[in-house]
Amino acid sequence: MALEIRTLGEHAAQDITVDKDFSEIPITMEQRLDIACGQQLQPGWTGMDIADIILPLGAKANYINHNVLEFPWPIESNSIYEARCSHFVEHIPHQLEGSDITRNGLVLFMEELYRVMMPQGIVTIMAPYYSSQRAWQDPTHIRGITENTFRYFDKKWLESLGMGHYNIKADFEVLTTKMILDPEYESKNESAKQNAIRHFINVVLDIHIVLRKREVR
């Protein structure tokens, strides 16, 4: 079950499936990017991963064989309208090999994502929630993801907290945040769910965050 938090902002927060601007734009396979797709590349998408993937004969999908943590990606700026990234961001090292030691790996990843997205483009990020065992049982997981993690890539949010000095070169609006709950909590009322989320572990298993790239001001 998904517990959804709708964010109030300069745009009405809504699922992208009912977003008029989004649904009326014809989207090509080249404009839909599945980042670190592994073997799960879906039809109608362009996948990008370091792994060797052999597409089935006649598959309606594209594949870019590239290390997602090597920048720049072989993708033109402002060319992607829809992107997704499932269970990868928690693996991104704090320090990437060969990068400026003052720049965090997730920051560099989000800045590159910002570069390739079209203005108003939509990004869906899925990850284990920080208070779930799922977030830490895998020894290759580096970081925990909370409902506020990706607000640090929202310039307005940073400036409102006096943190503009972070100087992050990305600007995404958080549209929605969905928490995927353990089935034990699905039937509980809203108050009980919120209390459990605040005080207990393993209540929220995964978090799905939908971002929209802001136009350059």
Q: Provide the domain limits for residue 207.
A: 2-213
- CA distance to 16, 91, 140, 193, 213, per residue, from 115 (Å): 21, 21, 27, 38, 10
Q: 0.85 cut: is pTM over it?
A: yes
Query: What is the rounded distance in angstroms from the CA atom of residue 117 to the CA atom of residue 31?
Result: 9
CATH code, domain with 203: 3.40.50
- What DSSP assignment string belongs to 133-195? GGGTSSTT----B-TTGGGGG-HHHHHHTT-GGG--S--EEEEEEEEEE-GGGTTS-HHHHHH
pLDDT in tens, the chain (217 residues): 566 655 433 333 344 444 555 555 678 889 999 999 988 888 889 999 998 877 765 677 789 999 999 999 999 999 999 999 999 999 999 999 988 988 999 999 999 999 999 999 999 999 999 999 999 999 999 999 999 999 999 999 999 999 989 999 999 999 999 999 999 998 999 999 999 999 999 999 999 999 999 987 6
Where helices occur in the chain by DSSP H, the ranges are 20-23, 105-116, 155-160, 190-199
Domain count, the chain: 1
Q: What pLDDT is stored for residue 60 in this prediction?
A: 74
Q: What pLDDT is stored for residue 20 in this prediction?
A: 53
